[in-house]
A and B are shown apart, each in its own frame.
Chain A
């Protein structure tokens, strides 16, 4: 949810593609030089996804029970430009055969075809498509889908997700970042594994602010105090209201008993700004910075990490920062559940994760990817937006999983603010 519209912007994706293709090219080159191993290995073994490099011994012991064999083609629904796209297809913004090294390597390693489709542009719209099938207990046609926390939580709570067999995903069990474990809605990762995370905070361009003689906003209070016509908040209700709660010093815990009243307070806090010309933007804030239309905005970290222009800055607000995660979920009735598990396991190999990360530039959910990514892109490994430091993670707030009542209230209040 938090990240959907940023992928629409042709300008943004092109820039990201241009950057990404370079990195993916390097990735493919390195894979070609150092590897060779994945090609020579026989297909249909769970341990095929290269084991993490640090503890070199003990390959995954072969299960005494007969190993299920992967079936295909794996139907994988993901968001646009959310994997290591390469070459011409990457530039054109559409997935084509061979345009993602990760998918191609998976096909070779597992010996099963993958039908990777950029089918999700919006959590709610995608949910509206699959909800009737899930409700009726019929297959959705997808084996693996990537959906944001709140929707993943909803799907899981309704029992519409297949339980992931932990013995099939040893990489994921081992390499999932600690701060992404123990989600209240799926504490043992029985039903989901994160694909990418991102932060929502304050963004601005230092040059634009300097020329407008405005102090750089360090806190949400600072952001609210800037002339409203020169500020944009996000078109994503959870992001804007999450930060709005932090600004008021209210609890951004979705289970807070005073949440409904607090949401109203956030609305009442923002409404005057709207009257004074505040706008709501998706990733078009980048364009607005460039055109000096806005001076500062609520932004997503991935944009500024991968595609920002010179001077673009992501500020973790003093009050805290919102964290959201898009998660891999196997929808109930998936025809190729085991292959989907193999895919989850595959992308939790730090090498593969680094390869994806060097392209998408979001917060990486895989331990060890920072070591691997050094080989691809030395600066990325120390980029706190991809590998956040402890003082940033300490400020994390997750405002995703709302009750139906709170969500309805949020929708109503947000639509009133945005005029829709």
Chain B
């Protein structure tokens, strides 16, 4: 007996150890991916952000903090624009997206899939092309303004939207709208219709049902939607570049300019880090405010 037991133990232990290690082995490709394509570049970028030098003479890690002081002090307008435009377009996306998601989830019926497809359909066209199309749509003599100026005649002839903050916010709102609608839809779609009926049975009117039942249950979607919209709008530079003017530049434009125009890699890296840290802190505060237990919901 003992001998049998002794011989049986090693393979069993080996197998058990393999079994215990399985999650880590399965995680390994993902971890390696993150290590190589996220952690390593982030470390490189951090080292670059405390370097000095130029592209020609080479960059050397000197531990200087100048890139960070530059990043924090020199670009207040662009930081402000990023925050403002990001907040406004995220709010607009929410105001536009919630009714759409609500309608699809509760009134979509058999057209649900078709309607969802229509929400995503613009994504089959390149982001860039869609944004450039807005140049035409918002053009001074474009289909909208041209019509309002010359046919309806309610706008003065020199009225202009393109290259203004309005155009940038409009572009941002449009481009990131599906990122708001889809999570909202998923959250609303999960709501058990019987909870709403129960609210009705308890003499809640439509408005109270919405605020006391529907909206709280949709909060995870609101959280995901606002995060998914706000983060990319904050860092976006395409809309400000194509639809804006020098006065409407966002922090993404500054980073792009530092990297590609002036080859000032340290400042660009520092800006990227500050942006990342800022967004992270904002998200943490936001999550705390909304209450995390509701978000796992």
Contacts and interface: CB of A to CB of B under 8 A. Distances in A.
Interface of A: 122, 124-125, 127-128, 131, 135, 154, 229, 237, 274-275, 277-280, 287, 291-293, 404, 408, 411-412, 414-415, 417-420
B253 A291 contact: no
B78 interface: yes
Contact of B142 (A128, A278, A291, A412): A291
20 contacts: A127-B55, A274-B247, A277-B163, A278-B245, A279-B163, A291-B141, A292-B141, A293-B139, A293-B162, A412-B262, A415-B262, A417-B246, A418-B249, A418-B257, A419-B77, A419-B247, A420-B253, A420-B256, A420-B257, A420-B258
Contact of A124 (B140, B163, B245, B260): B260
B56 interface: yes
Interface of B: 54-56, 58, 77-78, 135-136, 139-142, 160, 162-163, 245-249, 253-254, 256-258, 260-264
A280 B240 CA distance: 13
Contact of A279 (B56, B78, B245, B258): B245
Contacts, number: 72
A135 B263 CA distance: 16
B261 A415 contact: yes
A415 B139 contact: no
Most buried by B among A131, A274, A411, A419: A419
Contacts of B136: 291
A154 B54 CA distance: 14
B71 to A, nearest CB: 14
A128 B263 contact: yes
A412 B54 CA distance: 14
A419 B140 contact: no
Contacts of A279: 163, 245-246
B56 A124 contact: no
Given A124-B263, A279-B163, A293-B162, A419 B141 contact: no
A237 B262 CA distance: 11
A122 B139 contact: no
A287 B132 CA distance: 12
Contacts of B78: 419
Contacts of A417: 246
A293 to B, nearest CB: 5
A76 to B, nearest CB: 24
A227 to B, nearest CB: 9
